[in-house]
């Protein structure tokens, strides 16, 4: 008789006994895994993601949906994040301390080359955040995270998805690409 494989099939009762997914933003952003926020140029994707991450950081509802409070890390490959965050803080009449669990990196991160930046980024996040729970890591944008790569090539996208999975797994959080 053969040894069981690494694939564990579930019967209907086993499938139904599984717990439902947990959410960082109820029924919008799961607690773990990968997500993509996409839209045309100039459609407000970055503003949407700043609003969403700040709701998570503050532990307030976002678009009427509950959030799970925690740290958010925003990697702004195109820079220009400071003015957008300042606008959010001003519009919402907040003090900088009200959003202290929002961390930003205004730099590109190479997710295409597994030896380039991923492990250093994990260490940098751990050093800054400590053991506080990270709920969301945002990579804005997907294109800037794969220098020289082709978004339509399965090999390139596979490498980026693998690197994103490493980041998500390292912190047991969701990683969202802006595309």
- 138-144 mean pLDDT: 89
- Answer whether residue 71 shows pLDDT above 70: yes
Using the predicted structure, report yes or no on whether residue 123 has a pLDDT greater than 70.
Answer: yes
pLDDT band at 4 (very low <50, low <70, confident <90, very high): low
> What's the whole-number average pLDDT of the chain?
92
Distance in angstroms (rounded) separating the CA atoms of residues 21 and 169: 16
Output the pLDDT for position 1: 63
User: pTM score > 0.85 for this model?
Assistant: yes
Say if residue 28's pLDDT is above 80.
yes
pLDDT band at 144 (very low <50, low <70, confident <90, very high): confident
**Average confidence (pLDDT) over 23-50:** 94
Q: Residue 135: pLDDT band by 50, 70, 90 thresholds?
A: very high
* CB distance 137 to 70 below 8 Å: no
Q: How confident is the model at residue 148 (pLDDT cuts 50, 70, 90)?
A: confident
pLDDT in tens, 72-120: 999 998 878 999 999 999 999 999 999 999 999 998 899 988 788 999 9
């Amino acid at each position: 008789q053969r040894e069981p494989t690494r694939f564990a099939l579930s019967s209907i009762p086993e499938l139904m006994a599984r717990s439902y997914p947990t959410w960082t933003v109820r029924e919008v952003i799961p607690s773990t895994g990968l997500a993509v926020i996409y839209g045309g140029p100039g459609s407000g994707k970055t503003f949407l993601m700043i609003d969403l991450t700040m709701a998570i950081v503050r532990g307030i509802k976002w678009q009427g949906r509950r959030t799970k409070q925690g740290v958010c890390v925003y990697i702004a490959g195109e820079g220009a994040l400071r003015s957008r965050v300042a606008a959010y803080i001003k519009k919402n009449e907040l003090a900088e301390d009200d959003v202290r669990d929002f961390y930003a990196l205004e730099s590109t991160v190479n997710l295409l080359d597994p030896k380039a930046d991923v492990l250093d980024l994990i260490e940098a996040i751990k050093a800054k955040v400590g053991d506080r729970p990270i709920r969301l890591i945002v990579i804005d944008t997907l294109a800037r995270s794969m220098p020289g790569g082709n978004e339509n090539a399965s090999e390139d996208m596979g490498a980026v998805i693998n690197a994103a999975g490493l980041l998500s797994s390292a912190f047991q959080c969701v990683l969202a690409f802006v595309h």
